[in-house]
Amino acid sequence: MLPILFHIPREVGGLPLFGYGLLVAVWAVFGVGMMFYVVRRQGWMADTWGYLPVLLIVTAVFIWVLPAICDSQGLPIRGYGVMTLLAVLAGMALGAYRARRVGISADTLVSLAFWVVLPGIVGARLFYVVEYWSTSYLPVFEQAGLKDLLISVVNLSEGGQVVYGGFFGAMIGLIGFLRSNRLPLLAVLDLIAPSLILGVAIGRIGCLMTGCCFGGVCAHGPAISFPPGSPAYINQMLRGQFYGFALSGDPKVAPVILAVEEDSPAAKAGLKVGNRLVRLGGEDIRIAGRAHRILEGHFVERRPLTVQAEGRSAASLPAVEIPRRSLPVHPTQIYSSIGALLICLLLLAYDPLRRRDGELFALMVGVYAVARFFMEMLRTDEVPIFGTGMSISQNISLLLLVCMAGFWYYLLRRPPGLAMVKKAER
């Protein structure tokens, strides 16, 4: 885990770098130069206007967002943000290489990247904010107000994006690009599919550096642990796992014990899987969220914990010495990165064999949906929704599998043929 790589100072040579400072000045020169180059090459057309929103958004980030997320040492350059940038650059490089092979210009590919990447990042972040609104963002709004809430929402460098949200956001941007450039939808989907999944493979390393997207406790096999303050450490503290039992991470459900570690204080006190807690730390509890707060207080203050399950007498668990690391967990970030890289290689190997446009995209979505469904079984950072017993990502995975089955049926009924072919074959 390496959340912060280094800091960029607030000032250079006595001049401010962020806000209305040197960075905006350099960006303005770059933006004017780039627009001049683009207009000179292709004139004022719909594709040219597509650069302006991106230039303005980045300018707004330099002026208002970066100063807000600086700390006492300056602007923290976080591992997650760096890996996200590398994911975008690697995806663009792969896309540019494959685009040249089918006769698409570099300018068109760069424009496509602008249309896909930015909506993808926005979609990934919005999906995360909606999913974790009640636990991560509503408390910020209630305690600090709207300004701090907006800062926490746009602070992407600390992590917090959902692949499926990014996928849907990128598809919205892609549709806008295709409408402006009149390119074939299915052929372009095949063009960007390997780039998208390569970006996921690299981005997951950013998850590892931040500590998000962690797995459940792993007693055997490959496992990693995280330091205090990490998402995995906090999750285990709130759920009671340092005491030897585990509640749900969903604050709205009943406080039912989901797991009990053998030979732990909880096991010795007679707690069993399925017990519903009615009192914790001398307080009545009805939902897991209240239990989380009590567990956090007793853990931090190193106090003994009284626990009473429904139909049982109260038991006392000894105070826990604060551990230096979390309990070992599955390195699901590494699993996901390797899985996405293998899918990328599969797509590149299948590319020469495809007979219809859309096959590469359908293969990517279908295989990733299966892999993500099973990966969620190892993760504990997402709670079940809608009474399905499955996380939101698992529900979306099943929905996408159904959609891809119908999509494959549609593709296989079409006559073979590719809209984009190599120049040598024209």
- Whether the per-residue pLDDT at 232 is higher than 70: the answer is yes
Q: What is the pLDDT of residue 150?
A: 82
| Burial (Cβ within 10 Å: 0-12, 13-18, ≥19) of residue 220 | exposed
Number of domains in the chain: 2
- Domain span at residue 88? 4-18+70-216+330-425
Query: For residue 76, what are the β-bridge partners?
Result: 7
259-260 and 390-391 beta bridge pairing: unpaired
Strand, helix or coil for residue 13: coil
Q: What is the pLDDT of residue 421?
A: 57
Q: Which of 283, 317, 351 is the last residue of a domain?
A: 317
Helices of type H across 214-357: 231-239, 265-268, 288-301, 332-350
Contact 218, 329 (CB under 8 A): yes
- Domain identity same for 189 and 305: no
Q: Which of 317, 340, 360 is the last residue of a domain?
A: 317
Confidence of residue 426 (pLDDT cuts 50, 70, 90): very low
- Domain identity same for 88 and 207: yes
Confidence of residue 190 (pLDDT cuts 50, 70, 90): very high
26 domain-assigned = no
- Domain identity same for 347 and 421: yes
Residues in Cβ contact with 241 at an 8 Å cutoff, skipping those fewer than 6 apart: 217, 261, 327
Q: Tens digits of per-residue pLDDT, 366-405?
A: 999 999 999 999 998 888 888 888 999 999 999 999 999 9
29 domain-assigned = no
Q: Tens digits of per-residue pLDDT, 305-335?
A: 999 999 999 999 999 999 999 999 999 999 9
- Mean pLDDT, the chain, whole residue set: 89
Q: What is the pLDDT of residue 106?
A: 73
Between residues 137 and 270, which one has the greater pLDDT? 270
Range with the poorest average pLDDT among 36-40, 48-52, 122-126, 192-196 = 48-52
Contact 42, 59 (CB under 8 A): no
Q: What is the pLDDT of residue 47?
A: 66
199 domain-assigned = yes
- Domain identity same for 360 and 268: no
182 domain-assigned = yes
31 domain-assigned = no
23 domain-assigned = no
43 domain-assigned = no
34 domain-assigned = no
- Phi and psi (nearest 5°) for 180? -80, -30
Q: Tens digits of per-residue pLDDT, 337-376?
A: 999 999 999 999 999 999 999 999 999 999 999 999 999 9
What angle do the packed helices 163-181 and 185-210 form, to 10 degrees? 150
- Domain identity same for 237 and 183: no
Confidence of residue 294 (pLDDT cuts 50, 70, 90): very high
- Whether the per-residue pLDDT at 37 is higher than 70: the answer is yes
DSSP conformation class of 376: T
User: What percent of the chain is modeled with pLDDT above 70?
Assistant: 97
- Domain identity same for 212 and 358: yes
Q: What is the pLDDT of residue 341?
A: 98
- CATH number of domain containing 275: 2.30.42.10
Q: What is the pLDDT of residue 303?
A: 94
- Domain identity same for 90 and 177: yes
Q: Which of 261, 295, 317 is the last residue of a domain?
A: 317
The model's pTM is: 0.85
Confidence of residue 425 (pLDDT cuts 50, 70, 90): very low
- Domain identity same for 209 and 240: no
- Domain identity same for 246 and 298: yes
- Domain identity same for 112 and 211: yes
- Domain identity same for 106 and 238: no
- Whether the per-residue pLDDT at 258 is higher than 70: the answer is yes
User: Average pLDDT, stretch 162-172?
Assistant: 90
- Domain identity same for 341 and 419: yes
